[in-house]
């Protein structure tokens, strides 16, 4: 019985001058290039997408006012609001009101931020501070700060003090809880590693705890700034003789919805400007931190 010898010869390699064929299916290549081109065509700048919502609402407001669906007695048209803005700007009433409201908001914010920062550092860094402060802040947080207006009038009168105090109170809570939560969310293993490397208490706070707290503090700053303008809307209803709330109170007596809407729009623009400033600040301060920015 004879057996056939095994063929151990290596497969023949193609000669350099031998033409080779591409094994990749042509349909796959076309699909990839087509998808890339479609993605480039459908890309819309983020600034345009962000502005689409507000612009769409204003257009809807204009169309409903122009067609009579939204009566002027219910809400003035955008044209009337813009006309009133130009008139109040020319006679100086609107700039003066914005300046008066801005001073109150800035003063109240600085006072509230100083209180929140002090309390959050004491409660976050020390157990005794947490035991004394955190439960009390949680209890006072449950009290609606708008409901304290009558008590503030009794304590401080009807001048500027109750207005500033109400803004400061509204600012304190979001800043406190976000900073306190940021401090307590610091990884314990990271703290132990820093201690093993020889960092003292001040170095630990500066290089480990505060950088970890910064993202939460910036989120609290955004909430606090928006709350400051919200509190100011209520605060300026307390016997105000200047400011946006004063303009709104006078307009309410004469059913001037155009001035009321104008003042609300100015409040919104001021709040949006502050929020935009905090966003820029966050990008500057958190360049070391890789964030998820959403799917494309």
The rounded distance, in Å, linking the Cα atoms of 211 and 186 is 9
First to last CA, the chain: 71
Residue where the block lists tokens 């409660």: 123
Residues 160-188 pLDDT 10s: 888 899 999 989 999 999 999 889 888 88
At residue 237 the predicted structure's pLDDT band, cuts being 50, 70 and 90, is confident
CB-CB neighbours of 229 under 10 Å: 23
The rounded distance, in Å, linking the Cα atoms of 116 and 171 is 8
Residues 34-89 pLDDT 10s: 444 544 556 777 777 777 887 888 888 889 888 888 888 788 888 888 998 999 99
The rounded distance, in Å, linking the Cα atoms of 150 and 15 is 96
Report residue 9 CA to chain centroid gap.
Answer: 72
Angle, CA of 79, 98 and 259, to the nearest 5°: 30
3-state SS class at 26? helix
- Tell me what percent of the residues of the chain surpass a pLDDT of 90: 14
């Amino acid at each position: 019985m004879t057996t056939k010898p095994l063929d151990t010869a290596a497969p023949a390699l193609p000669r350099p001058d031998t033409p080779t064929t591409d094994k990749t299916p042509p349909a796959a290549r076309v699909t990839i290039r087509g998808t890339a081109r479609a993605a480039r065509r459908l890309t819309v700048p983020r600034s345009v997408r962000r502005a689409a919502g507000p612009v769409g609402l204003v257009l809807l407001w204009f169309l409903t006012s122009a067609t009579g669906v939204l009566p002027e007695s219910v809400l003035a048209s955008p044209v009337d609001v813009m006309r009133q803005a130009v008139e109040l700007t020319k006679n100086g009433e609107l700039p003066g009101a914005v300046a008066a409201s801005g001073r109150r908001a800035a003063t109240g914010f600085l006072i509230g931020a100083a209180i929140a920062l002090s309390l959050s550092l004491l409660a976050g860094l020390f157990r005794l501070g947490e035991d004394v402060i955190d439960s009390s802040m949680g209890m006072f947080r449950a009290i609606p700060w708008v409901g304290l207006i009558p008590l503030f009038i009794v304590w401080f009168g009807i001048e500027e003090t109750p207005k500033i105090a109400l803004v400061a109170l509204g600012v304190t809570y979001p800043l406190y809880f976000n900073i306190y939560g940021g401090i307590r969310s610091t990884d314990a293993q990271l703290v132990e590693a820093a201690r093993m490397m020889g960092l003292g208490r001040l170095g630990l706070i500066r290089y480990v705890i505060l950088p970890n707290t910064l993202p939460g503090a910036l989120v609290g700053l955004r909430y606090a700034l928006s709350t400051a303008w919200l509190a100011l809307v209520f605060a300026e209803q307390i016997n105000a003789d200047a400011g946006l709330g004063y303009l709104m109170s006078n307009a309410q007596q004469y059913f001037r919805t155009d001035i009321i809407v104008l003042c609300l729009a100015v409040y919104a623009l001021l709040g949006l400007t502050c929020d935009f400033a905090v966003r820029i600040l966050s990008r500057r301060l958190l360049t070391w931190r890789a964030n998820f920015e959403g799917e494309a």
